[in-house]
A and B are shown apart, each in its own frame.
Chain A
């Protein structure tokens, strides 16, 4: 057997795990590992400008590919800089392996230089974490980390490695395990057939059904089965923010996104339904509004791989614990074989009602209340120019909601956003992670002038690795989402939500060697975007000035039911 140092084992484990890229930043505790990286070329290292960006790059790769992204950060400040990105991945159940350097083991607990308790700090925001006690543990610990991160409900795993575990002269036998078995961790592989049978009976006899698809469907690669089931039953489908693309956004059975900024027809249909088939949505507070007023007439079938997501916020009538792909396969089989005749008349009336809601409110925004360009228009044109087929990586704020509402995602894993944690600064590094791994795809970062400045230093990384992504900046010169809440709840007292002293973005991006463009008039928008997207090998940053007073609508009325929404600044449901 081969003898390797701990540092070499870390790198070799990554190779044996099939990892192509890792994202990181060096430091004292990692010097042995970085030296091992230098001496091979199987695993390629991407040097970011801030560790947070490394985590978002790895995270976005995982969102697009379904495989765990890998991050390497040094002890102390390197590790703490990664915390936001780890929490971001955790909230959205994204598989990720974060290797953090640690001070020498004999110094742990002595407040040594750049010491921090990474295992302690990350405990509540990881699926699991472990620290290495002996170099020979490294291969099995790495295998365990990848296995836990990517199986069951995926999530980030931190492996903390004290520097003396990687000493080049201490060599041990290396063999990468083919598999791991943990007696205390056995993710379910299929749903309970009795429960699935019950669900099918409810599905077949429902009069006003809706199918709600969350991020779980995407994580389980179960979009095809979802689409087949919805088509077979001809039931309306709603994708959550994390589920956008799970069911095709341009299909007529698609009602949009539910919740706080959900589509009117989606929220109305859920509220008035008699059955919700919830596939892998957590039903969090941004969806349900007040849980005690949530969908009063609906029975709830809740399918999730994580039992703790079921009946957490809303009690399920039929809980099914299992992976979405296998549960959906089983549902399909039983629906096809069911001898219950669907109530065609009831379904006809239900669709008629839904179409009425859709016709009255669906996808509308006003253009007559301002001379200025509307952010919604920008997203619609973006969707048109990119043929609805780009990877859209969003930051957090109004622009995120507009992108979610107006970009029509027909495929899963194309909409990349921080849904759970809502991390400003996610968008640009996420787009970088995707462009690096999918160089032939169109990759867009939709951002605001607030969010982009949280990781704008990464324009330098883009230059170093030649990442010709496109940045669509919806510049409303304010922290728009904050301002919107201040307009609605604080009599427009705009406390700290105004973005003063913005840089000249064009000059800024040019200084990094990229192309900057600026759009102020709607009739220049499409041609500018065409021009930008035609520049295949350039990062183009398009600063688009939009109406700073625009709000995101619909917006649910707080503490009310799903159907209670503001439709504009003056109209309510």
Chain B
């Protein structure tokens, strides 16, 4: 099963490489990883998505917790949560394709953020599935470039991951 693990990490040199190293060292799978400082500059927030059975996920969270720089973590998929990913996608758009692409962008509630006579650059946010679906409706021959941020997630309601 797919899990989203959210980690509060000391914002120190080398902390991130320890997290990444752990996954390759122990043969854990990593699908996406995002990291940035939080409102507290001494802490980074890291979100990673991974796939594994319960036993593997248990080992992943235990090993992450063992890293000295990991302050706290939560497996968001254990409760109600919201996930978002941002995608920038550059699409070939000439002639009839221009209207076609525009229509898809509207349906998916995306935005065209850059235009040339032959290209639209589209910004789209949402769950990863939605981004996948958007890519599918565009003719692969017209997809010039895809940039995705990886998943960010947060628990619903009062629950927070904080110190």
Category for how many chain A residues contact B: 10 to 19
User: CB distance A123 to B59 under 8 Å?
Assistant: no
Residues on the A chain within 8 Å of B14, using CB: 119, 123, 130-131
Residue A148 CB within 8 A of the other chain: yes
CB of A310, distance to nearest CB on chain B (Å): 8
B21-A306 in contact (CB<8A): no
Stretch at the interface among A182-190, A227-235, A269-277, A508-516: A182-190
> Which chain A residues border B10 with CB–CB below 8 Å?
184
B69:A306 contact, CB within 8 angstroms: no
Which of these, A123, A307, A315, contacts B18 with CB under 8 Å? A123
Give the distance in Å from the alpha carbon of A120 to the alpha carbon of B58 in the complex.
Answer: 26
In the bound complex, what is the Cα–Cα distance between A148 and B25 (angstroms)?
21
Evaluate whether A184 and B69 lie within 8 angstroms (CB atoms) in the complex, with A120-B17, A123-B18, A124-B25 already known: yes
Are A183 and B163 within 8 A (Cβ)?
A: yes
Interface 0/1 of A105-143, CB less than 8 Å to B: 000000000000001100110011011000000000000
Pairwise interchain contact A183-B71, C-beta atoms closer than 8 A: yes
**Nearest CB in chain A: distance from B162 CB, A:** 12
What is the size, in residues, of chain B's interface with A at 8 Å between Cβ atoms?
19
A308 CB contacts on chain B under 8 angstroms: 59, 62-63, 65-66
| Given the contacts A182-B68, A184-B70, A312 and B21 also touching, CB distance less than 8 Å | no
A185 x B68 contact (CB < 8 A): yes
- What are the residues of chain A within 8 A of B62 when measuring CB–CB? 307-308
Q: Looking at the assembled complex, report how far the CB atom of A155 sits from the nearest CB atom of chain B, in whole angstroms.
A: 10
Docked Cα-Cα span, A128 to B66, in Å, equals: 10
B7 to chain A, nearest CB (A): 11
The reply on A311 being an interface residue by CB < 8 A is yes
Residue contact A123 to B21, C-beta cutoff 8 Å: yes
Give the Cβ gap from A154 to chain B, nearest Cβ, in Å: 13
Which partner residue on chain B sits nearest A184 by CB separation? B71
Give the distance to chain A from B72, nearest Cβ to Cβ, in Å. 8
Contact at A315–B55, with CB atoms within 8 Å?
Answer: yes
Chain A residues positioned under 8 Å from B71 (CB to CB): 183-184
Q: B9-40: which residues lie under 8 A (CB-CB) from chain A?
A: 10, 13-14, 17-18, 21, 25
- Tell me the minimal C-beta distance from B10 to chain A in angstroms: 6
B34 to chain A, nearest CB (A): 20
Known A-B contacts A184-B68, A184-B71; the reply to A312 vs B59 at CB < 8 A is yes
B25 lies within 8 A of A306 (CB): no
Contacting A at CB under 8 A, from B48-75, are 55, 58-59, 62-63, 65-66, 68-71
Min CB gap B144→A, angstroms: 35
Minimum CB distance partner of A183 in chain B = B71
Residues of B within 8 A of A119 (CB): 14
Question: Nearest chain-B residue to A144 (Cβ)?
Answer: B68
Q: How many angstroms between the C-alpha atoms of A124 and B13 in the bound complex?
A: 16
Residues of A within 8 A of B70 (CB): 184
Contacting residues of chain A (291-343) with chain B, CB-CB under 8 angstroms? 306-308, 311-312, 315
B42's nearest neighbour on chain A, judged by CB, is: A183
CA distance A127 to B18 in the complex (A): 11
**Candidates B59, B68, B163; contact of A148 at CB < 8 Å:** B68
- Which residues of B have CB within 8 Å of A130? 14
A184 to B7, CA, bound (A): 12
Q: In this complex, what residue of B is CB-closest to A124?
A: B25
Please report the C-alpha to C-alpha distance between residue A311 and residue B62 in the assembled complex, in whole angstroms. 11
Contact A311 B68 (CB under 8 A): no
A183 to B69, CA, bound (A): 9
| CB-CB nearest in chain B for A127 | B68
Q: Of residues 112 to 163 in B, which have CB atoms within 8 Å of A's CB atoms?
A: 163
Interface of chain A residues 386 through 430 with chain B (CB within 8 A): none
Measured CB to CB, the closest approach of chain B to A366, in angstroms, equals 42
A149-165 interface code vs B (CB 8 A; 1 in, 0 out): 00000000000000000
Pairwise interchain contact A311-B17, C-beta atoms closer than 8 A: no
Provide the residues of chain B in CB contact with A306, threshold 8 Å.
66
Min distance, Cβ B123 to any Cβ of chain A, angstroms: 35
Query: What are the residues of chain A within 8 A of B25 when measuring CB–CB?
Result: 124
Residue ID in chain B nearest A153 by CB atoms = B66
CA distance A308 to B65 in the complex (A): 9
| Chain B residues in 8 Å Cβ range of A183 | 71, 163
CA A128 to CA B21, docked complex, whole Å: 13
- Shortest beta-carbon distance from A320 to chain B in Å: 14
> 8 Å CB contacts to B: which residues of A164-203?
182-185
Within the complex, what minimum Cβ distance (angstroms) separates A415 from chain B? Answer: 27
A418 to B163, CA, bound (A): 40
User: How long is the Cα–Cα vector from A184 to B59 in the complex, in angstroms?
Assistant: 19
B30 to chain A, nearest CB (A): 16
Instruction: Write the chain B residue with the least CB distance to A125.
Output: B25
- Contact between chains at A123 and B17 (CB < 8 Å): yes
CB distance from B41 to the nearest CB of A (A): 15
Closest to B65 in A: A307
Extra inter-chain contacts (9) besides given A124-B25, A128-B68, CB under 8 Å = A123-B14, A123-B17, A124-B21, A127-B68, A131-B13, A184-B70, A307-B62, A308-B62, A311-B58
8 A-B residue pairs with Cβ-Cβ distance under 8 Å, sorted by A, are A123-B17, A124-B25, A183-B71, A183-B163, A306-B66, A307-B66, A308-B59, A308-B63
Interface residues of A (CB under 8 A from B): 119-120, 123-124, 127-128, 130-131, 148, 182-185, 306-308, 311-312, 315
Q: Across chains A and B, which 4 residue pairs bring their CB atoms closest together, nearest first?
A: A308-B62, A184-B71, A128-B68, A124-B25
Name B's A-contacting residues (CB within 8 A).
Answer: 10, 13-14, 17-18, 21, 25, 55, 58-59, 62-63, 65-66, 68-71, 163
